[in-house]
Amino acid sequence: MALPLRYSVGNLLARRTRTLLTLGVVAVVVLATTLLLSLVSSLRRTLVTTGGPSNLIVMRKGATNDGSSALPLEAYQALRFFEGVGKSPEGEPLVSPELVVQPFFVRRDGGRENVLVRGVEPAALAVHDSVKIVEGRMFEPSQGEVIVGTGVAGRYAGAAVGETLKFGRGTWKVVGRFKSGGDSFESEVWADVRELARDAKRPLPYSGFRVRAAPGTDLDAMIRRIDDEPRWAMEAQRETEYYAEQSKSADALYLIVIGLAVLSGIGAICGATNTLYASVQARTAEIGTLRALGFSRATILTAFLIESLLMAFAGFAVGGALAGILATGISRALGGVGFSAVTFTTNVIDLRVGASDLCWAAALSLVIGLIGGWFPALRAARLRPVEALRRA
């Protein structure tokens, strides 16, 4: 004979303050963990999805990122004729020479940040085919025009299409906005590489190159060939690998989030256990009566466990919903959360609570409910009917 669900629910409602407080604890733990989880996974998502599967990034040997690399014009010219380089429909080699600069930008709310400005040629759009212009158009070379990633558009002063951006030594007209599947390109501004080089007065014109390999090319062999090129100290890497390595900077943060989840989870368990123990104590007579009536130990155990799980679940529902609302709210209010990338520039993260984040939060709540409720439920189940009734 099982106890109806109404028994557990009814008991929770009867001691409203205690239930609410414990629910509150779980909700807050879920909220905090989910927010941080979503930050890390949003960050990861941004970094990990960046990069085309058949693209290579070529930098100077030893450079860890294309912001701190420099290669000469001759290297570009040689690379164009490398074996394995893909060709556009018009027959042009798909090699995008790029210059990475990190000027100051002013945020809409007044703060100052480094933003990655990438000097490119029209070939860039062909090589980085994840980048799609969604508003306006591509810039015309030598016209002082730029296009901005969608993360940039909302965050900095003068960055919307039609406005004028002020960075480097001049002013630039924003003629287009692009999206790139939520990756880190969306935190960049693209300009004409020659104009940018002039503006930044760089000794060497390029930071590095992005290469699209021809279909069917052995990428590893190509990478080796580029690395072994004797004239210029170049180093090639799969674009996807390059960005994946950058996401390692988020690993320390991940550790912290896990630590936080574990510790706060333990705290919540203590809270839940406390509440349930008190509940068991207060209902000793009731339990004795139930046992005397013939309900088994397992039934009592289950009923109390269900109470614990219900509280935890309700906490998860509240905490998760709040996290979703807060994340979107914060993201919107701050113009994205700025996370500083390895290139000393700002990655604009659109903070979003994803399904996987909620799954982890649900798992955490489940653990809290189970472990928190286990010992009190066990004690309730073990109460001997006669003792229980007598104590009352």
Partner 1 sequence: MSWSAFLWRNLSRNKVRSLLTGGAIALAIALVCFLATMPDGMNRILEQVATNTRVVVHNEAGLVYPLPYAYMQKVRAMPGVVAVTSWTWFGGVFKEEDGISFPNFAVEPDAVGETWPDYGIPKDQLEEFKHRRDGAIVGGGTLKKYGWKVGDQVTLKGTVFPVDLTFKIVGTIPNERAPHFWFQREYLEQAVKAAGGTFDFLGTIWVRVDDPSRLDPLARQIDETFHNSDAQTSSENEKSYFKNFFGALEGLVFLIMLVTALVAVCIVFIAANTASMTVRERMREIAILKAMGFSRRSVFGMLVAEATLLATLAGAVGAFTSLGLTRLVRYASGSWNPTMGPLASFIVSNTILVEGLFLAFFIGMVSGIVPSYGAARRNVVQTLREVF
What's the min distance (Å) between Cβ of 115 and partner 1?
A: 9
Whether residue 60 contacts residue 70, with contact meaning beta carbons closer than 8 Å, is answered with yes
Residue 39 in the binding site for partner 1 (CB under 8 A): yes
What's the min distance (Å) between Cβ of 348 and partner 1?
A: 9
Q: Closer CB to partner 1, residue 114 or residue 299?
A: 114
Exposure pattern of 255-294 as b/e (b: 16+ CB <10 Å)? eebeeebeebbeebbebbbbbbeebbeebbebbbebbeee
Backbone dihedral region for residue 241 (phi beyond 0: left; psi -120 to 50: alpha; all else: beta): alpha
Whether residue 101 contacts residue 168, with contact meaning beta carbons closer than 8 Å, is answered with yes
Site string for partner 1, 325-364 (x = CB under 8 A): -----x---x-xxxxxxx-x-x--x---------------
Considering only residues 227-266, where is the footprint of partner 1 by CB under 8 A?
Answer: 249, 252-253, 255-256, 259-260, 263-264, 266
Interacting residues of 77 by C-beta distance below 8 A, sequence separation 6+: none
Stretch near partner 1 under the rule CB under 8 A, chosen from 53-61, 80-88, 121-129, 304-312: 53-61
Considering only residues 179-208, where is the footprint of partner 1 by CB under 8 A?
Answer: 199-201, 203-204
Q: 110 φ, ψ to 5°?
A: 110, -20
How far apart CA 383 and CA 392 sit, in angstroms, is: 12
Considering only residues 261-280, where is the footprint of partner 1 by CB under 8 A?
Answer: 263-264, 266-268, 270-271, 273-275, 277-278
What's the min distance (Å) between Cβ of 137 and partner 1?
A: 26
Q: Closer CB to partner 1, residue 2 or residue 14?
A: 14
Interacting residues of 319 by C-beta distance below 8 A, sequence separation 6+: 26, 27, 28, 29, 30, 31, 34, 361, 365
What is the three-class DSSP state of 258? helix
Of 95, 110, 91, residue with least CA distance to 157: 110
Considering only residues 79-108, where is the footprint of partner 1 by CB under 8 A?
Answer: 101-104
What's the min distance (Å) between Cβ of 387 and partner 1?
A: 19
Residue 224 in the binding site for partner 1 (CB under 8 A): no
Q: Closer CB to partner 1, residue 25 or residue 211?
A: 25
Exposure pattern of 150-166 as b/e (b: 16+ CB <10 Å)? bbbbbbbebbbbeeebe
Size of residue set near partner 1 by CB under 8 A: 73
Stretch near partner 1 under the rule CB under 8 A, chosen from 61-69, 119-127, 209-217, 380-388: 61-69
Give start and end residues of each alpha helix (H) in 335-354.
none
Q: Closer CB to partner 1, residue 21 or residue 134?
A: 21
Site string for partner 1, 292-331 (x = CB under 8 A): --------------------------------------x-
Whether residue 134 contacts residue 150, with contact meaning beta carbons closer than 8 Å, is answered with yes
Q: How many residues make up the chain in this entry? A: 392
Site string for partner 1, 139-178 (x = CB under 8 A): ----------------------------xxx---------
Residue 120 in the binding site for partner 1 (CB under 8 A): no
How far apart CA 30 and CA 17 sit, in angstroms, is: 20
